[in-house]
Amino acid sequence: MDKVYSFIADKTGERLDKYVCQQHPELSRTHVQKLIAEGYITVNDQRGKAGLRLSKGDRLKLVIPPTPPSRLVPEAMPLNILYEDADLLVVDKPAGLTVHPAPGHPSHTLVNAILSHFPHLADIGDSLRPGVVHRLDKDTSGVMLVAKNSAAQADLSQQFKSHSVTKAYLVLVKGKLTPENGVIEADIGRDPRNRKRMAVVAEGREARTEYRVIKYIGDYTLLEVRTETGRTHQIRVHMAAIGFPVVGDKVYGVKSQYLSRQFMHACRLGFKLPSSGEYVEFKSELPPDLAQALKDIG
């Protein structure tokens, strides 16, 4: 569980990172700066910056998440592999499966499952995210790409960074969204009032979402959504921001009697094969729980 500390600054002019280190000498300056960058340290309920100069009486809150495991353990779990070559895997991720270990999810992730099939992936890239070049939320199903060697990981990561990858999702939102085609451009960052949420904020990172209406179903709209950028919770945050929240999304959207998770499915992923430069696309059909929800709503 998270460790939470609250205290009041008793001096003026001290840097935030230095002051927290003074209060918690067991934490290194680098660790404190990382916690600040990730939104775990707030000042007067606002996200802090390492160089922020404190004033006497400022209210500080420090959250220290549990340390994730230092090594990954392969776990035998079924994998739906859509495509495989020497460089990469394309898998159809089920809902409810976290992509890689993180605080709160130390094991039973997609990466643990992949390592049971391909143990050598443990040596690729980040020790806790080997082969990972992009992510899907835990409760989002659909097409995911995993690199099998360092050269492929670098190539695919660059494709994502340059926004040349096609990422399309099927999304059900509450309300009748018009016009039938549109673009949402709004910067996204940590919600200053709740570090576990993202929000449209002025100091956030650029985010662009395109959508087109597939069909209207009563007071709901089924969309195909494409993301040019890949911000955390981007579609869910953008849809909520324009007043059409994702159905079943317990954080940003609206709960639904028809679903136990958010109606989001990564239906299509297109990219260039590192080996040849050939552009390829892979698709995933709507899973049974989402298909059933559409029937029930309709």
- 178-189 pLDDT tens trace: 999 999 999 999
Candidates 106, 99, 174; CA nearest to 133 is: 99
Say if residue 244 is in the same domain as residue 213: yes
Write down the pLDDT at residue 92. Answer: 97
- Residue entry with tokens 């890689």: 100
- Asked, for residue 283, whether it belongs to a domain, the answer is no
Same domain, 218 and 176: yes
Peptide bond preceding 179 in cis form (omega within 30 of 0): yes
Residue 103's pLDDT is 64
Query: How does 49-74 read in b/e, with b if 16+ C-beta sit within 10 Å?
Result: bbebebeeebebbbbbeeebeeebeb
Please give the Cα distance from 270 to 266 (Å, whole number).
Answer: 11
The answer to whether residues 257 and 199 belong to one domain is yes
Asked whether residue 241 is domain-assigned, the answer is yes
**pLDDT at position 203, please?**
84
- Asked if 137 is an active-site residue, the reply is yes
Q: Which among 17, 58, 92, 137 is annotated as catalytic? A: 137
Let me know whether 173 and 260 are in one domain: yes
Cβ(293)–Cβ(255) below 8 Å: no
Residues 203 and 239 in one domain: yes
Would residue 30 count as lying in a domain? yes
275 within some domain: no
Q: What is the pLDDT of residue 122?
A: 72
**Beta-bridge mates of residue 102:** 105
Query: Does 68 score more than 80 pLDDT?
Result: no
pLDDT of residue 94: 95
Q: Is the residue at 60 inside a domain?
A: yes
Both 186 and 133 in one domain: the answer is no
**DSSP at 256:** -
Of the ranges 115-124, 125-134, 144-153, which is most confident?
A: 144-153
In which domain, by residue range, is 259 found?
168-266+292-297
Would you say residue 224 lies in a domain? yes
Write down which residue in 64, 90, 116 finishes a domain: 64
> Which tops the pLDDT comparison, 120 or 38?
38
The domain boundary, picked from 162, 192, 213, lies at 162
pLDDT (0 to 100) of residue 121: 78
Asked if residue 140 has pLDDT above 90, the reply is: yes
**Which pLDDT score, from 0 to 100, does residue 71 have?**
67
Residue 152 domain flag: yes
Mean pLDDT of 209-229: 96
Q: Point out which residues pair with 201 in neighbouring strands.
A: none
Q: Do 256 and 173 sit in the same domain of this protein? A: yes
Same domain, 94 and 55: no
| Same domain? 120 vs 199 | no
Determine the average pLDDT of the residues in 246-254.
95
What are the angstrom distances between the C-alpha of 200 and each of 97, 110, 176? 26, 29, 22
Instruction: Please state the domain count of the chain.
Output: 3
Quick one: average pLDDT of 120-146? 85
Burial of 27 (0-12, 13-18, 19+ CB in 10 A): middle
CA-to-CA distance for 112 and 107, rounded, in angstroms?
Answer: 7
Placement of tokens 């776990």 in the chain:
75
Q: The whole model's pTM is what? A: 0.76
* pLDDT for position 231: 92
pLDDT mean across residues, the chain: 91
Is residue 277 domain-resident?
no
Task: Please determine, for residue 42, whether its predicted confidence score (pLDDT) is greater than 90.
Answer: yes
Bridge partners (DSSP) listed for residue 8: 59
Give the pLDDT of residue 108: 83
Same domain, 105 and 147: yes
Q: Give 101 or 221, the one with higher predicted confidence.
A: 221
Question: What value does the mean pLDDT take over residues 42-54?
Answer: 93
| 73 and 59 together in one domain | no
The residue with tokens 């992510």 is 135
Domain containing residue 58: CATH number: 3.10.290.10
Q: Are 187 and 205 in contact (CB under 8 A)?
A: yes
What is the reported pLDDT for 8? 96
CATH number at residue 132: 3.30.2350.10
Residue pLDDT, tens place only, 153-173: 999 999 999 999 999 999 999
Domain end call among 141, 162, 183? 162
Claim to verify: residue 183 and residue 97 sit in the same structural domain: no
